Amino acid sequence: MIENDLNTRYYMRSLYQRLYAGLTIKCPELWNVNYFKNVLFGQGFVAIIDHPEYGKIPQICAPTGERGIFLQPTKILVSQPLVKFEGEIGVNCEIVRLTPDWLSVIDIVEHYAVRMAIALTSYDVAMINNRAAFMAAGKNKSAIETIKQLYEDLTKGKPLLVYDKALKDEGLDETDPIWTFNADVKNNYISDKILADLHTIREDFDTEIGIAAIGDKKERMITDEVDKLTADSTARAETWFDMLTQSFDKVNALFPELNLSFTMKYGGETHEYGEN
């Protein structure tokens, strides 16, 4: 993890919201759909339980040690301040899963957020360095103070700068008046390149989660390139869509009155499940 946690947190939220926006869930009005989605993305799965007091609701849960013949959990435990529940999957609860491995997708968000934070930190440093175009050295304290004042006035945009002739009389003759270094700011300017890298990292993230990113190629993309880009941008998203479809099928079969449905945007299209 990099030192600049502020930038990392910023991009974690920014990228998470891009991911979050791609999924729309239609559920009962009494449900908190934001809670549903946050648990789904943050944990990788969320339980739909039939609670004796609250009825059928989504809840964060923990699979218990019970395993079936394919080593999949068969029971869950919900332990919230207001909700206590022990459930058997397929009997009085079901699981909505986003990934086949029961894991969160936050690692994808963090992977790219860290890199974007590094790029932004580099950009900030580069912008500061771009301001340091000159270095100068005087032969004594008086000369140094005069040079500093001249530079300050110069940066304020004064059109005419006048200095005491004594500056030359203090040993700063025509052959070696002031030692100076003039940085080649134009050729050493890299801030625009870092911004381009930042944009590329975000496009890579978009591709990872299913948002097709054409990029900044100047030449027309050939058909094979477009096809590859489409395949790259749908690989994960199709897996998520399939897992959600399987999960919603099971939930709707156990609790048909819920009639859950969803839409998911990926590959430049909107994909639907159920009635939307």
Q: What is the pLDDT of residues 132-164, one digit of tens each?
A: 666 666 777 877 788 788 767 765 656 676 766
The percentage of the chain sitting over the pLDDT mark of 90, rounded to a whole number, equals 55
Q: Which residue did the predictor score with more confidence, 8 or 164? A: 8
Exposed / middle / buried, residue 23 (Cβ in 10 Å: 0-12, 13-18, 19+):
buried
pLDDT band at 238 (very low <50, low <70, confident <90, very high): very high
Residue-level pLDDT at 162: 74
DSSP assignment of the chain equals --S-HHHHHHHHHHHHHHHHTTEEEE--TTS-HHHHHHHHHHHSEEEEEEETTTEEEEE--EE-S-B-TTS-B-EEEEE-SS-EEEEEBTTTEEEEESSTTS--SHHHHHHHHHHHHHHHHHHHHHHHHHT--EEEE-SSHHHHHHHHHHHHHHHTT-S-----THHHHTT--SSSS-EEEE--HHHH--HHHHHHHHHHHHHHHHHHHT-----S-SSPPPHHHHHHHHHHHHHHHHHHHHHHHHHHHHHHHH-TTT--EEEEEETTEEEEES--
Q: Which residue did the predictor score with more confidence, 172 or 125? A: 125
Residue-level pLDDT at 1: 45
| pLDDT at 230 > cutoff 90 | no
CA dist 276 and 273 (Å) reads: 8
Q: Which residue did the predictor score with more confidence, 269 or 140? A: 269
pLDDT band at 224 (very low <50, low <70, confident <90, very high): low
- The pLDDT tens digits for 80-89 are 999 999 999 9
pLDDT band at 200 (very low <50, low <70, confident <90, very high): very high
| pLDDT at 35 > cutoff 80 | yes
Mean pLDDT score across all residues of the chain: 83
Residue-level pLDDT at 275: 72
The most confident of the ranges 62-76, 158-172, 254-268 is: 254-268
| pLDDT at 177 > cutoff 60 | no
Say which range, 22-26, 210-214, 219-223, has the weakest mean pLDDT.
219-223
Residue-level pLDDT at 218: 47
Q: What is the mean pLDDT of residues 243-260?
A: 98
Q: Which residue did the predictor score with more confidence, 127 or 227? A: 127
Residue-level pLDDT at 268: 85
- The pLDDT tens digits for 59-78 are 999 998 778 888 999 999 99
- The pLDDT tens digits for 87-132 are 999 999 999 999 999 999 999 999 999 999 999 988 887 776 666 6
| pLDDT at 214 > cutoff 50 | yes
Q: Are the C-beta atoms of 233 and 205 separated by less than 8 Å?
A: no
Length of the chain: 276
Residue-level pLDDT at 228: 59
| pLDDT at 166 > cutoff 90 | no
